[in-house]
Amino acid sequence: MVPRNGLCVGLDLDVEKLPAPYKKQVVDLQRFGCDVVDATKDVASCYKFNLAFYEQYGRAGIDALYAIRERIGDAYVIADAKRGDIGNTSAAYAKAVFEDLQADAITVSPYMGRDSVGPFLDVQGKMVYVLALTSNPGSYDFQRRLVGETPLYELVMNTILSWPRAGDLGFVVGATNAYELAMLRTKYSDAPLLIPGIGAQGGDAEQTVAANAKGPAVFNVSRGLLYADATDSCIETIARLAREYNVAMMQ
């Protein structure tokens, strides 16, 4: 199952950044997250939870995560977990994310190879977004290294596309890599992409959408949406920006 093209609302909630109507306490993560969902549900293509933002607060953070997940209901959910370990460990991660959290998709690191990614790909009806070319500066350390004449991120994509799978397969390609994104779209026109990095990380929405060339993709905005307004009008601002982003991303 592939989410429709458009805005992915990143629910990477940070207690210290909660806007004025909310207290800077873990208990208000749930209230803010649910309000964001209510304000964006009519336009969001999907929602993305970076699990670490909830895990850092212990049980209270996990409780907030599950409460917000329940509020989302039937909308498409991506667990940004970046899992990837030996086979039985990955199978346990897959069960936790797909069965308990009831996410529709997960992000996975390919570094440990086929037996670490396979348990996620074996789950029917779920999407696995494999890290390919990320937005962070450290992507230059390994992902862009040449293997012969081929960048490592392309070797990763080619290799994983050759593996058998029961679920859907996509890749993470950061919005700060517009040139490479355009090049990848000429080679992998049908590959679903999760494109983070728009807004606070420096990715430009219009440039990224143009580079994607109408390929299947969702464009994640987190901090640039959640914390654009620190005043009492923050939810109204989030609702307005979500609509503007979504219109741009559906072009």
Catalytic residues: 82
Which DSSP symbol is given to 16? Answer: G
Do residues 124 and 166 touch, judged by C-beta distance below 8 A? Answer: yes
Which is nearest to 173 in space by CA: 185, 161, 163? 185
Question: Left, alpha or beta for 148 (phi > 0: left; psi -120 to 50: alpha)?
Answer: left
* Angstrom distance (rounded) from CA 196 to CA 198: 6
CB 96 within 8 A of CB 119: no
How far is CA 228 from each of CA 18, 79, 127, 244, rounded to the nearest angstrom? 11, 23, 30, 13
* CA distance linking residue 56 with residue 248, whole number of Å: 33
Length of the chain in terms of residues written: 251
